[in-house]
Amino acid sequence: MDVEALRTFVVVAGVGQFQAAADELGISQQAVSKRIAALERHVAVTLLVRSSRGSRLSLDGQVFLPHAKKVLTAVEQAERAVNPGSRPLRVDVLNRRISPAQAVYRFYRSRPETDLDAVTLDKENAAQAAQAVLEGVVDASFRALPADRIPTGITAERLLDEPLELLVGPGHPLADAPRISLVDLAGHRIWIPGIRPGTEWAAFYQALSEAFGLSIDALGPNFGDEALMDALADSASLATLVGRGDRYLWPRTHDLRRIPLHDPTPFYPHLLLFRTGDRHPVLTALRDHLRTTAPRTPHDAWTPDWTVTVH
């Protein structure tokens, strides 16, 4: 059913004149007549009775009018629902403890009236998350994705580079170091449980290990962050890597140590993926916030060769 024909019928029913309806709609009287005729053919009844004095509703038209108004109201509500800014911005942060979630939370804290919804597509890899953005499942996602794998229709901005730190227990040989060069990690086991083949973080850690001769593995079952912290606290050999902005919690008695890395400093290159041309005002505000609050990248920053260049 043609929505414009429905709208024309409702206007004619209200003003009682085809010409008056044409003036209100900004179309010709002939266009009004064609729309009404097409609508009457569609419903197979006469809706308006014409006379020299104008038009009035037939009995069928009187029955049809309230339903037509409800349809138009539903259409208007549907259109408003997808207008930029008329609904919360849905942002995939992957994991609520890592840097993207913290960055979105700081953005929200800076303007608590903002209408947004943080979600975690933690089962999807970067390509699947990008497809979810393209299909409108979410409006934006923080992922690390090579430039040649960004789908048409998606814009990617590198707005959240996250420096990595070493996390070890008090018995680890490097526990008391104020900072550590990447080459000094050679020979130490770096355990990152939960790395799944085919994910962007698997590609990142493979590139990191190959570039600096590091031993990074995900051997054994993944019992979650708490189990990882317990294992680090009890071990004199295990270490893991975490983002500087990640918020992991552990008991004070664990005495875990965060140690900055340098020479070079490895950065995880989070891209903000969103649909090209998306005008949602909260998305615009989030992008501006990330640009203005991003710390300066040090001269010794390292990211994989496939990383999208910062604009």
- In this prediction, residues 89-106 reach a mean pLDDT of 92
Please say if the pLDDT value at position 311 is more than 60.
Answer: no
**pLDDT attached to residue 83:** 63
Q: With bands split at pLDDT 50, 70 and 90, how would you rate the model's confidence at 297?
A: confident
Segment 132-184, tens digit of pLDDT: 999 989 999 999 988 888 999 999 999 999 999 999 999 999 999 999 999 99
Please say if the pLDDT value at position 309 is more than 80.
Answer: no
**pLDDT attached to residue 53:** 82
- Lowest model confidence (mean pLDDT) among 72-76, 100-104, 159-163: 72-76
Q: With bands split at pLDDT 50, 70 and 90, how would you rate the model's confidence at 254?
A: very high
**pLDDT attached to residue 294:** 85
Segment 23-54, tens digit of pLDDT: 998 999 999 999 999 999 999 999 999 887 88
Q: With bands split at pLDDT 50, 70 and 90, how would you rate the model's confidence at 290?
A: very high
- In this prediction, residues 280-292 reach a mean pLDDT of 94
**pLDDT attached to residue 123:** 85
**pLDDT attached to residue 80:** 64
Q: With bands split at pLDDT 50, 70 and 90, how would you rate the model's confidence at 299?
A: confident
Segment 106-140, tens digit of pLDDT: 999 999 889 999 999 988 889 999 999 999 899 99
**pLDDT attached to residue 81:** 61
Q: With bands split at pLDDT 50, 70 and 90, how would you rate the model's confidence at 295?
A: confident
**pLDDT attached to residue 156:** 94
Please say if the pLDDT value at position 90 is more than 70.
Answer: yes
Segment 194-249, tens digit of pLDDT: 888 888 889 999 999 999 999 999 999 999 999 999 999 999 999 999 999 899 99
Q: DSSP labels for the chain?
A: --HHHHHHHHHHHHHS-HHHHHHHHTS-HHHHHHHHHHHHHHHTS--EEEETTEEEE-HHHHHHHHHHHHHHHHHHHHHHHTSTTSS-EEEE-S-TTSHHHHHHHHHHHHSTT--EEEE--TTS-HHHHHHHHHTTS-SEEEE---GGGSPTTEEEEEEEEEEEEEEE-TTSTTTT-S-EEGGGGTTSEEE-TT--TTSHHHHHHHHHHHHHT-EEE--S----HHHHHHHHHH-SS-EEEEETT------GGG--EEEEEESSEEEEEEEEEEETT---HHHHHHHHHHHHHPPPPPTTEE--TTSPPP-
Q: With bands split at pLDDT 50, 70 and 90, how would you rate the model's confidence at 87?
A: confident
Give the residue, 249 or 79, on which the prediction is more confident. Answer: 249
**pLDDT attached to residue 158:** 92
Burial class (CB in 10 A: 0-12, 13-18, 19+), 224: exposed
